[in-house]
Amino acid sequence: MLQALFSSAGRVLNDLSLSLYRGRAAGAERHRPVHAKQKPLQRLLLTDGVGHTLFEEYADHRAGARGDEETGWLLLGLRESSEAVALATLPAGTQRNAGVAHVQFNSSAQALGSRIVRQADKRLSILGVVHTHPGSLRHPSDGDFKGDSHWVAHLRSKEGVFGIGTADGLPTADTTLARQPRQHMQCLGELCLSWYALRQGDTHYRPLPVGLTLGPDLARPLHPIWPTIEIHAERLDRLARQQTGVSFAVVPGQEDSALAVNVSLAEPGHAIRVLIEGEDVRYFVLRDEKLFEAGLREERVDQAVYLLLAELASRY
């Protein structure tokens, strides 16, 4: 399974700009021909880290103040000829628009989250979407189909993976014991995930057999700082598109985790570094492994970086 986890999955996803379509975060990928050997999906593999994230955050969501609403996750991973491997989850976000019958993802945060995760592996692409149903409908609804049938046309493979979460499983004495009542279902306690595939031109979803393989959720470090990502996503993603040499990392902050943004300068070993923790933004200049804090107090990160670049340029 580890071989399948790390084997090639095709071409690089070129455009990570995400838009909303009927409550889904839709990947605006450039249209490319599907690989000749790529067949309709026959199986989905989740890393155990991805599976843990989905069930844990689903349980936390149900216990929270917005537990009666739908929620969801975007899945990133590798697409093989007839198999998909889900390696990362991006949450719908606290700024999602949701109710008992719909959920719209925070598309700006999804775009930035995708960009950050793909720093380590450019082969990763959008596989599909998981969303929950407050009731007992374990199958995508007619409304889901109307949106999803258009959405899959934007995917490189022209086929998407769709998970439906429900909380109607049979209670067990051991709520930590996972079970698989059907090939396309996973249950943990009362929580269930039912998996489907939909290909461009299909008239209905196909139940998709699912299994687990070893591996982390590559996006899990982003989840604790997701509110920070949501606040600054649009400007940070714009900065990364406009400037080469922009990278991101999750680092320890003053109180919790923080997002570090590194903008490389022309001189080797020199960079602008931005440390973001919630709405608190601090700016630094790195020179010869020495860090100097800049006296900027600006929440608009992209504008602050350009001000620093202009100031540095005027000194040389």
pLDDT tens sequence across 59-85: 999 998 877 888 899 999 999 889 999
What is residue 38's predicted lDDT score, i.e. its pLDDT? 74
Confidence tier at 173 by pLDDT (50, 70, 90): low
CA distance linking residue 17 with residue 35, whole number of Å: 23
**Residue 232 belongs to some domain of the structure:** no
Instruction: Locate 38 and state its tokens.
Output: 């790529």
Q: How many CB atoms lie within 10 A of CB 179?
A: 14
- Please check whether residues 68 and 202 belong to one and the same domain: yes
Q: Per-residue pLDDT averaged across 270-285, rounded? A: 94
Q: Per-residue pLDDT averaged across 128-156, rounded? A: 92
> Among residues 212, 247, 276, which one has the least CA distance to residue 120?
247
Q: E strands of 70-200, at which residues?
A: 72-79, 83-91, 97-98, 103-104, 125-132, 159-166, 178-179, 185-188, 191-199
77-81, 162-166, 311-315: least confident range: 311-315
- Please check whether residues 64 and 208 belong to one and the same domain: yes
17-21, 117-121, 139-143, 165-169: least confident range: 17-21
- Please check whether residues 15 and 146 belong to one and the same domain: yes
Given a cut of 50, whether residue 8 has pLDDT beyond it is no
- Please check whether residues 123 and 174 belong to one and the same domain: yes
Q: Per-residue pLDDT averaged across 89-115, rounded? A: 72
Q: Assign residue 199 the CATH number of its domain.
A: 3.40.140.10
CA distance linking residue 174 with residue 213, whole number of Å: 22
- Please check whether residues 137 and 63 belong to one and the same domain: yes
What is residue 195's predicted lDDT score, i.e. its pLDDT? 98
**Residue 226 belongs to some domain of the structure:** no
**Residue 238 belongs to some domain of the structure:** no
- Please check whether residues 212 and 254 belong to one and the same domain: no
Q: Per-residue pLDDT averaged across 186-199, rounded? A: 96
In terms of DSSP bridges, do strands 206-207 and 191-199 run parallel, antiparallel, or are they unpaired?
antiparallel
The alpha carbons of the chain give a radius of gyration, in whole angstroms, of: 21
Q: What percent of the chain has pLDDT over 70?
A: 82
**Residue 261 belongs to some domain of the structure:** yes
CA distance linking residue 281 with residue 297, whole number of Å: 8
Confidence tier at 4 by pLDDT (50, 70, 90): very low
Q: Per-residue pLDDT averaged across 173-197, rounded? A: 89
What is residue 307's predicted lDDT score, i.e. its pLDDT? 93
Q: Is the dihedral of CA 32, 36, 42, 44 positive or negative?
A: negative
- Please check whether residues 206 and 289 belong to one and the same domain: no
Of residues 275 and 15, more confidently modeled = 275
CA distance linking residue 208 with residue 77, whole number of Å: 16
User: Do 225 and 258 contact (CB within 8 A), yes or no?
Assistant: yes
Segment 228-276, tens digit of pLDDT: 999 999 999 999 999 999 999 999 988 889 999 999 998 888 999 999 9
Confidence tier at 25 by pLDDT (50, 70, 90): very low
Tell me if residue 289 falls in helix, strand or coil: coil
Given a cut of 90, whether residue 203 has pLDDT beyond it is yes
Tell me if residue 252 falls in helix, strand or coil: strand
Contacts of range 39-42, beta carbons closer than 8 Å, 24 or more positions apart: 39/81, 39/82, 40/82, 40/159, 40/197, 40/199, 40/206, 41/82, 41/83, 41/84, 41/159, 41/161, 41/197, 41/199, 41/206, 41/208, 42/82, 42/83, 42/209
What is residue 3's predicted lDDT score, i.e. its pLDDT? 28
CB neighbour class for 259 (10 Å; exposed up to 12, middle 13-18, buried from 19): buried
Provide the residue type at 244 as one letter: T
Given a cut of 70, whether residue 280 has pLDDT beyond it is yes
- Please check whether residues 210 and 249 belong to one and the same domain: no
- Please check whether residues 63 and 208 belong to one and the same domain: yes
- Please check whether residues 184 and 98 belong to one and the same domain: yes
Domain count, the chain: 2
CA distance linking residue 69 with residue 312, whole number of Å: 49
**How high is the mean pLDDT of the chain?**
83
CA distance linking residue 2 with residue 218, whole number of Å: 15
Range of the domain at 197: 2-220
What is residue 296's predicted lDDT score, i.e. its pLDDT? 86
Tell me if residue 144 falls in helix, strand or coil: helix
Helical (H) or strand (E) element with 29 = none
- Please check whether residues 204 and 283 belong to one and the same domain: no
- Please check whether residues 30 and 161 belong to one and the same domain: yes
DSSP for 174-231, written as a single string = -TT-EE-SSTTEEEETTEEEEEEEEETT-SS-EE--EEEES---TTGGGGGGHHHHHH
**Residue 233 belongs to some domain of the structure:** no
**Residue 235 belongs to some domain of the structure:** no
pTM confidence score:
0.82
